[in-house]
Chain A
C-alpha cells in the first residue's frame, strides 16, 4: 500500500530515525511531532477520544523500544503506522471478543443513533465514524481512511476477507444513513 507522508530518501527525517535509534531523544521528539497527528487520529478513530491519548503514548514508547529493529525496508512512516495499528488491535482484542464484534447483525442498521445531516461536514464525518459499531468502524478506518486492502485487513484482524468486505459495506451504509439523515 502507499501511505501519504512517507519519508523521502535522504531527508532529515531519515537522519532523525538513525539518531533516535542511537538513543537521541531530541531526534525522537522531532519524529513524534512529525507523526503524532496521524497516529493520534488513527487511535481516536479506531478506539475513542478517551483512549487516544494513552494509546498514542503507548505507541510512541513502543516505537522508541523497537527502533533498533527498524531495518529501513519500508519508509519509517509505514513501519510506524503498522506498529500503531498492531498496538490498537491488541488493545481492542483485550477488551472485546473479536468473534462477537465481527458477527453480521442484520439489525445493526436500525440500532445506530442517527443524527441529522449538518453543514459542518468535517465534524459530522468524524462523528459518523465515531458512531459506527466497533467491528465496522475498525474496517472502515483501515480500508477507506488508511488505505489497507481487504487481504491485509483480514491478516491483521485474523478474519476472513469476505467478513472484511461485508463489514466495510455495512459501515459505508451506516455512514450514508448518518450523513444523509435518512
Chain B
C-alpha cells in the first residue's frame, strides 16, 4: 500500500480529481493490488454511510419540548394559565401546568436565591439580573434571558415588560448556597409531587449539570472566552430557575 496514492483515493472516489490525476491513479490501481483493496474498502464505507439508518431517541423527548414551548407561550401577556393546587394530598401536575406555574412563580420566588446569598454575606462581581425579554424570534413567544444589570431594554418595549423579577448572584459562593438551600427544600417537599414530575425535574437537572460541567471544562482551556462565560451563567441560572419552580410546586401543596 502506497500512502502517496491512497491519500488521493477519497478524492478519486468522489470524482474530485482532475482528469490527468484520475488517470494516473487508475494506472497505479491496475498495478497495485493493496491500493486497489483500500479503494474497495473505502467504497464499502461510503456506501454503508449513505444507508445508515436513523434511530429515534431512547426516551420520548416531546414532553420536554412541549413544556418549553408552553413556558414561552405562557409568558405572553394575557396567556398566563392559572395554577391552583389539586384537592388530593398527592398532587399531579401536567407539563403545561408546570410550565405555566413556573412563569408565575419566577416573579414571586425570584428573591429566594438572593436572600440565601445575602444570608452568607457573599459578594460578587458578576451579579446578573434576569429580565423577561422578547427574543429575536418574538413571534413565537417570550423567553427569559440574562442581561447585565446595566443593559437597557430593547427599544419600543414597554417598561412593564421589563419589570425586574429576580436578583441572582451567580458567583460560586452565592450560587452554591442558593442551590444547596433549594435542593434541601425540594428534598423535603418531593414526597408531595407525583413520580413523573420528580422524574422530569431530575432528568432536566442532570442535563443542566452536564451543560454546566462542559462549560466549566471548556472555560478551563479558554478562560477569556466571553461566550463560554455567558453560557455558564445561563446554565447556572437555568438550574436555579428549575429548582425554584420545583421547590415552589412542592411547597405550594402545603
Binding site for B on A (CB under 8 A): 25, 28-29, 32-33, 36-38, 40-41, 44, 50-54, 56-57, 60-61, 64-69, 94-97, 121-122, 125-126, 140, 144-145, 147, 150, 165, 168-169, 172-173, 175-176, 179-180
What does DSSP make chain A's interface, helix, strand, loop or mixed?
helix
Give chain B's interface residues, CB within 8 Å of chain A.
6-7, 9-11, 16, 38, 41-42, 45-46, 48-50, 52-57, 59, 61-62, 64-66, 68-69, 72, 135, 137, 139-141, 207, 210-211, 214-215, 217-218, 222, 227-228, 231
B218 closest partner in A (C-beta): A95
Least distance between B2 CB and chain A CB atoms (Å): 14
Query: What are some 11 contacts across the A-B interface (CB < 8 A)?
Result: A40-B54, A50-B210, A60-B61, A65-B137, A94-B228, A95-B214, A95-B215, A145-B49, A172-B10, A176-B45, A180-B41
Chain B nearest CB: distance from A2 CB in Å?
12
A60 contacts B48, CB within 8 Å?
A: no
Known: A29-B62, A165-B11. A144 touches B218 (CB 8 A): no
* A158 and B55 alpha carbons, distance in the complex (Å): 29
Beyond A66-B137, A125-B52, 13 extra complex contacts between A and B, CB < 8 Å: A25-B69, A37-B54, A40-B55, A44-B55, A51-B210, A54-B207, A56-B57, A57-B65, A64-B65, A121-B48, A145-B52, A179-B45, A180-B41
**Chain A contacts for B11, CB-based, 8 A:** 165, 169
Cα–Cα, bound, A37→B45 (Å): 22
Q: A37-B56, A172-B46 are in contact. Are A94 and B231 (CB under 8 A)?
A: yes
Contact at B57–A53, with CB atoms within 8 Å? yes
Q: Nearest Cβ in chain B — how far from A38, in angstroms?
A: 4
How many pairs of residues, A versus B, come closer than 8 Å at their CB atoms? 109
Within the complex, the shortest CB–CB distance from A141 to chain B, in Å, comes to 8
Known: A40-B56, A50-B210, A64-B69. A176 touches B140 (CB 8 A): no
Q: In the complex the two chains form, is B49's CB within 8 Å of A32's CB?
A: no
Q: Closest B-chain residue to A39, C-beta based?
A: B54
In the complex, which residue of chain A has the Cβ closest to the Cβ of B222? A97
Complex contact B38–A176 (CB within 8 A): yes
Shortest distance between the CB of B140 and any CB in chain A (Å): 4
Is A176 within 8 A of B49, CB to CB? no
Q: Are A38 and B68 in contact (CB under 8 A)?
A: no
Q: A165 contacts which of B16, B53, B215, B222 (Cβ < 8 Å)? A: B16
Establish whether residues B52 and A126, one from each chain, have CB atoms under 8 Å apart when the complex forms. Answer: yes
Q: Are A169 and B57 in contact (CB under 8 A)?
A: no
In the complex the two chains form, is B42's CB within 8 Å of A176's CB? yes
Q: Which of A25, A36, A68, A122 contacts B57 (CB 8 A)?
A: A36
What's the minimum C-beta distance from A21 to chain B, rounded to whole angstroms?
9
Q: Write out the residue numbers on chain B whose beta carbons fall within 8 Å of the beta carbon of A168.
A: 10
Q: Which of A38, A125, A169 has the most CB of B within 10 A?
A: A169
Assembly CA distance A40 to B65 (angstroms): 13
- Which of B6, B64, B139, B218 is within 8 Å of A57, CB to CB? B64
B218/A68 in contact, CB under 8 A: no
B61 touches A56 (CB 8 A): yes
| A80 CB → nearest B CB, Å | 13
Which residues of chain B come closer than 8 Å to A96, judged between CB atoms?
218
**Which residues in A have their C-beta under 8 angstroms from that of B41?**
176, 180
Complex contact A169–B46 (CB within 8 A) = no
A146 CB to nearest B CB, Å = 9
In the assembly, what is the distance between CA of A65 and CA of B53, in Å?
28
Shortest distance from the beta carbon of A43 to any chain B beta carbon, whole Å: 9
Question: Pick the contact of A125 from B48, B68, B141, B231 — CB < 8 Å?
Answer: B48
Hey, which chain A residues are within 8 Å of B217, CB to CB? 95
Q: A29 touching B210 by the CB < 8 A rule?
A: no
A172 to chain B, nearest CB (A): 5
Alpha-carbon gap, A50 to B50, bound state (A): 24
- Interfacial chain B residues near A121, Cβ < 8 Å: 48
Q: Are A68 and B139 in contact (CB under 8 A)?
A: yes
The CA-CA distance from A172 to B215 in the complex, in Å, is 31
> A53 and B61: CB pair below 8 A?
yes
**Smallest beta-carbon distance A15→chain B, Å:** 19
